[in-house]
Structure 1
Amino acid sequence: MATTITGALEDYLETIFLLIRDKKIARVKDISQARGVRSASVSPALARLQELGMIRYVHREYVDLTAEGEKAALKIFSRHQLLVYLFEDVFNLPPKSAEADACGMEHSLSNEGLDHLERFVEFTKNDPEGKRLVDGFRRYLAEKSANAPRSGERTITQLKPGQSARVVEITGHGMIRQRLLDLGIMPNTMVMVERKAVTGGEVLIKLHGSQISLRRKEADAVIVLEDRN
């Protein structure tokens, strides 16, 4: 009998599955500790899971999974592991963040979405093209992270008219970088934004007493630290 259970009950079912797998038994106190809730909160969930035919439970005894419950729990656990892999191994998130995001997303996946996720994971693990895709994406993330402004830093574009800042880094390449250097915009120089185009175009700055007009791409390529003095 196909049964739909809530996300909260899925979490309980997965917890029971993991306790039985790792400790061979699942008791109410073990479940409450694993879920971080009081024992009194566990009993209603167990009663509902038993009504749905997912577990066998006698008050004050061990909790056991039925065949249907074990099948459902294994599916829930597998889905969770797929998401952890996606966030940690593909998106390169820290383990704690990957685990938290997987928990937040796993209950909202449709069967079709889960099926495609399984195929994607197979693709990234077993197909050379999939492995190259993941490697390329991780390199892209690393480059973006390396070029991202550090705490307290921003681009010239993000400064407001009247704000002054010290240039920290030029992230542009090629002709953009060369033009900025030719204009005298280099690390440790002070700049002040005088005017910004309303449409998001040119930015007029003052450098060494002279006015300089920068295109948006050029202003975006200059990382500065605002002068708060």
Structure 2
Amino acid sequence: MDGVSLTPNMEDYLEAIFYLKNLDPVVRVRDIARRLEVTMPSVSDAVKALKKLGLVRHEPYGHVELTDQGEILARKLLMRHHQLTHFLRDILGVDSETAESDACRIEHVVSHESMERLLALIGAIESCADKNCSISARNKKNRVRIPEVALHHNATSGLHTLEPGRTAQVAGVSPHKTMRRRLLDMGFTHGALVQMCEGQNLGAPYDVRIKGYTISLTKKQAELVQIHNS
């Protein structure tokens, strides 16, 4: 991706660092180990490899910081994952948990060329759904031609950052052993509109309106729910 060759494990580490950075600017080796449920020596080895590629900055016993290139790449990896999950869940109708798991597998095994074409197809499907048009055509060589579609995506942030009275669209729910399934069951699914209730102090608990209901969330739950920035 972008001229940088990463193994699936290195991609996971890069995404984890980006996720943790959005929770706390200071990301340490132990935080990454806890997030990915791996040993600290494994994290240290991965961080050294990412540092050699110019994607992170890290000194012994210090915190881990993404470089500008590392942050750009991490954002692309995360957005790619969201796109694949959305395609499997919302277009193909796969259940949310399976879509999340399969998206992880797909993004790590297909070639860069196939991934780019798949993402273009997803964009074409979404574009043509609004225009009621055909998404593919046969060219002279009898191959499927996918329309050129520019994929533009807003950055995402945690629901806890939404200001009282403001409404945003849910982008997804970050992986978590126990809370993710619960949040999806509450209605925090891709595309749902959520509003931060007015008349409350900043900080947990967070009272939000979604699908006609008022729900109170803990700080951790609100951080896991990702929303599109307007």
Alignment of 1:5-44 (within 5 A): 5-44=6-45
TM superposition score normalised by structure 2: 0.53
3-state DSSP class of the match of 2:3?
coil
Alignment of 1:28-107 (within 5 A): 28-107=29-108
Partner of 1:2: 3
Task: Give me the whole-angstrom Cα distance separating, in 2, the residues matched to 1:12 and 1:84.
Answer: 19
CA shift in 2, pair 1:24/1:95, >3 Å: farther
Q: Which has the higher helix share?
A: 1
Structure 1 residue 45 displacement after superposition: 0.6
Task: Give me the whole-angstrom Cα distance separating, in 2, the residues matched to 1:6 and 1:50.
Answer: 14
Partner of 1:110: 111
The Cα offsets for residues 169-226 of structure 1, whole Å up to 9 and x where unpaired, read as xxxxxxxxxxxxxxxxxxxxxxxxxxxxxxxxxxxxxxxxxxxxxxxxxxxxxxxxxx
Stretch moving more, 33-42 or 22-31: 22-31
CA shift in 2, pair 1:131/1:55, >3 Å: farther
Partner of 1:147: none
Runs of 4+ in 1 over 6 A off after TM superposition: 129-134
Q: Which runs of 5+ in 1 are unaligned?
A: 135-229
Task: Give me the whole-angstrom Cα distance separating, in 1, the residues matched to 2:55 and 2:20.
Answer: 15
- The letter for the 2-side match of 1:68 is Q
The Cα offsets for residues 44-100 of structure 1, whole Å up to 9 and x where unpaired, read as 111111111110011222111112211221221122111111111112222211111
Task: Give me the whole-angstrom Cα distance separating, in 2, the residues matched to 1:8 and 1:131.
Answer: 40
CA shift in 2, pair 1:96/1:128, >3 Å: closer
CA shift in 2, pair 1:133/1:86, >3 Å: farther
Structure 1 residue 28 displacement after superposition: 1.2
Task: Give me the whole-angstrom Cα distance separating, in 2, the residues matched to 1:131 and 1:24.
Answer: 45
The Cα offsets for residues 127-168 of structure 1, whole Å up to 9 and x where unpaired, read as 23787999xxxxxxxxxxxxxxxxxxxxxxxxxxxxxxxxxx
Contact 2:56–2:64, Cα closer than 8 Å, also in 1: yes
Structure 1 residue 112 displacement after superposition: 2.1
Task: Give me the whole-angstrom Cα distance separating, in 1, the residues matched to 2:70 and 2:50.
Answer: 9
The Cα offsets for residues 14-58 of structure 1, whole Å up to 9 and x where unpaired, read as 111111123333221211111011222211111111111110011
Task: Give me the whole-angstrom Cα distance separating, in 2, the residues matched to 1:111 and 1:29.
Answer: 32
TM superposition score normalised by structure 1: 0.53
* Superposed CA RMSD: 2.4
Alignment of 1:177-196 (within 5 A): none
CA shift in 2, pair 1:132/1:11, >3 Å: same
Task: Give me the whole-angstrom Cα distance separating, in 1, the residues matched to 2:99 and 2:27.
Answer: 26
Task: Give me the whole-angstrom Cα distance separating, in 1, the residues matched to 2:85 and 2:32.
Answer: 22
3-state DSSP class of the match of 1:59?
coil
Task: Give me the whole-angstrom Cα distance separating, in 2, the residues matched to 1:130 and 1:38.
Answer: 50
Contact 2:55–2:70, Cα closer than 8 Å, also in 1: yes
